[in-house]
Amino acid sequence: MKVNRRYIASGLMIGFLLLVAHVYVSLHSTDLKPYERDIHTSPGVSGRDGQNIEYKVSSESLTNYSMDIVLDSSSHTLSGTLILDYVNTEDIDIGELFFHLYPNASVNEDVPGYLLVDNVKTKDLGQDLDFGFGNQLLNITLPQALLPGESFSLYMEFETAITNNDSFRLNFKDDPSLGLVYALCNYYPILAVYDEQGWNLEPQYFVGDPYYSDIANYYVNLTVPSDFKVAASGELLGEDPEVNNQIEYEFRMLNARDFSFAISPDYIVEQETFRSIPVSVYYLPRDAGNWTLTAMDITLYSLDLFSDLYGEYPYTSFSVATTFGFYGGMDWPGIVWIQSGYRWFETGIAHEVAHQWFYAVVGNDQIDEGFLDEGIVCYCHWYYFENRYNYMGFFEEHLYRTAETSNETRYPAGLVINRSINYILENDIDGSHYWEAAYHKAPSVLHLLRTYIGDANFFDALERFYTQYSFQIATFNDLIDCFNYYIDINWFLPWFNEGFIPEVELVAAQLENTTLSGYNLSLTLKQTGLSVYPTKVPFLIDVEGSSMDELIWVWCNSSTPTNIQFQFDKKPTTVEIDTTSGYLYSLNLLEMEPFTVQDNRNSHSITDTTDTDPTSSSTSWVMVSPLIISLLILIARNDRRKK
């Protein structure tokens, strides 16, 4: 019997050591440590796994827009011709083409805007083509359907009237005290996108950025008064001599989703180069106090930062220009606009520069998934300030904002990130839903994801997203696939798809009996909100005799109270939230006072100490390992006696 006791004692000791190891690993694995990533300096080079990722689109196989345009500054109109060399890149026959006529959204303004199209023919002008008009649409019937890979060239003439209502992105403003600016975007018939849903024919909405286009090559000749300065999407190839106070500029841009201008006789112009690419900044005299040299510095820093993070800036020129409007800033390939007099122009420039990577190069359906590019780009400008100034204020400012907007008192159906503009309009949801979801909640959730998975996985996934889908149309699922390439985040998707963030309640915090030396802190948590899904919550533990609080992360996955235990060398006294760790708290936790730890060491110990991690299916088998080992030893001892 003495031998049996000795074996039993040995088994218990082994089990005890395993338990200690389990507790130690559990405690230390909950602390998410920052990681400084290894930055790649160009796209198409080896990624983290050594795999080469190359651009998949050649400009030689794309549709071409060739336009000759004249700006009449007295009537505020554009007259132009368009030759379209269309290539059927779909896998079905195409028998008709649809074009957006976005300026017709402003046809009812006091100074109306419109886009008229006439004289639609084959490119050689030998055959008239049947065409018709719809809701901001032009449709042209082709003489015969095009097979996949076939091309067809056509000619049309158009006239665009420019509204002076700057609530439209295409506008002009002539103010004697501020200056004259033409902001010209989507001023020409632009092909609708054909995708798995068919032709995307939505009109210009007044929610979000309601534009969606494929990449193409642009060859644009623009004639303007000779004293006007022109900021353009593309590279300036040349200019013709002045004739009758008019001058013609020749531009080209390959692999672009559209082609835009900002034009003014009043611009002050600064020019620099970024990695041999010409960079220009255009601003009005009223903006000189803030913009002189500073705007160029912000632009160059942004281009450098995002080129290092995601891949080289792919175009042959870049411009930033002040315009008039309501929007703060707008992005177009190769050019961005910043609202004149905009107070937060540094944020605006960093944000719009980032759009060159996410929307200009990696395209997406901004009506179905407008949050995709805006969420990423908002986080890019957050990161700009973190990288340049070590400023984390954007996340801290959004703690309460996200908690309040993801609450049924603000939006009864919740604030869902992954929601289309069509859904918002069809269900008569306030348009602020899109603004809050795409520009505020989405980057907050991305910051939480970065906190959970670490900098390396987070930024490598975004780099992969950029290089994998350059010059294509990407979806939210494509983005998730890029994250899953490095680490499984499927469990995290409810943060994008649910309307409410988890409302976690700290039910109890108490010291319990333990066989270990030190203090066993037992936390009891549950979810009480309308959306229940896995979340890992950070808490700060105040410990006696220590000047530093200890940070722990605790899983809470259920509306049923769950107990989790942590071991401390010194006595824990209070539990409170940590607003600097990157977590998105519900309102009840944000308003929680420091929670006093109850000393119940004379009461019964809590036996359920499982820290339920949804990313793992393992169980805490080490909690019963002493009994198992003891039983195995007894069986072995009895077997030896029988022999």
* Segment 9-37, tens digit of pLDDT: 555 554 544 444 443 333 333 333 332 33
The candidate with the shortest Cα–Cα distance to 193, out of 292, 97, 308, is 97
- 339 and 275: one domain? yes
Top pLDDT among 326 and 301 is at: 301
* 335 shares its domain with 275: yes
SS3 state at 290: helix
Gap between the Cα atoms of 400 and 390, Å rounded: 21
- Tell whether 304 is covered by a domain: yes
- Per residue in 339-386, pLDDT (tens digit) is 999 999 999 999 999 999 999 999 999 999 999 999 999 999 999 999
Q: Both 125 and 271 in a single domain?
A: yes
- Do 135 and 175 lie in one domain? The reply is yes
Confidence band (pLDDT; 50, 70, 90) for 421?
confident
| Position 535 confidence tier, pLDDT thresholds 50, 70, 90 | very high
Domain boundary among 327, 356, 385: 356
Is 137 found in the same domain as 24? no
Q: Please say whether the beta carbons of 19 and 623 come within 8 A.
A: yes
Domains of the chain: total: 2
Question: Could you tell me if 116 and 10 lie in one domain?
Answer: no
**pLDDT mean over 623-632:** 49
pTM: 0.85
Are residue 19 and residue 128 in the same domain, yes or no? no
Share above pLDDT 90 across residues of the chain, in percent, rounded to a whole number:
67
CATH number reported for the structural domain that contains residue 248 in this entry: 2.60.40.1730
Same domain, 24 and 110: no
pLDDT at residue 430, as a whole number: 82
pLDDT of residue 217: 97
Using CB atoms within 10 A of its CB, is residue 608 exposed (0-12), middle (13-18) or buried (19+)? middle
Distances from the Cα of 256 to the Cα of 58, 209, 232, 234, 375, angstroms: 12, 17, 12, 9, 22
Residue 448 pLDDT more than 70? yes
Is there a single domain that holds both residue 154 and residue 6?
no
pLDDT tens, residue by residue, 109-152: 787 899 999 999 999 999 999 999 988 999 999 999 999 999 99
Q: What is the pLDDT of residue 632?
A: 54
**Per residue in 153-187, pLDDT tens?**
999 999 999 999 888 899 999 999 999 999 999 99
CB 154 within 8 A of CB 86: yes
The phi, psi pair for 633, rounded to 5°, reads -65, -45
Most confident option among 242-251, 429-438, 612-621: 242-251
For 73, other C-beta atoms within 10 Å of its C-beta total: 16
pLDDT above 50 for 198:
yes
Residue that terminates a domain, selected from 356, 386, 404:
356
Most distant pair of Cα atoms in the chain: their distance: 115
Question: pLDDT digit string (tens) for 65-97?
Answer: 999 999 999 999 999 999 999 999 999 999 999
**Do the domain assignments include residue 214?**
yes
pLDDT at 516: 59
| Residues of the domain holding 336 | 62-356
Q: Are residues 16 and 163 in the same domain?
A: no
Mean pLDDT of the chain: 86
* Complete DSSP assignment for 486-505: TS--GGGTHHHH-SS---EE
Same domain, 81 and 28: no
Listed residues 332, 356, 380: the one ending a domain = 356
315 within 8 A of 333, measured Cβ to Cβ: yes
Is residue 106 a part of any domain in this protein? yes
Whether 451 is in a domain gets the answer: no
| Residue 474, in any domain of the structure | no
Residue 593 belongs to a domain:
yes
Would you say residue 220 lies in a domain? Answer: yes
Q: Is 578 domain-assigned?
A: yes
Q: Smallest Cα–Cα separation from 334: which of 217, 219, 234, 190?
A: 234
Query: Which residue has better confidence, 630 or 527?
Result: 527
Cα distance between residue 561 and residue 526, in whole Å: 5
Pair (200, 293) in one structural domain: yes
- Between CA 113 and CA 127 the distance in angstroms is 30
Cα gap 36→511, rounded to integer Å: 37
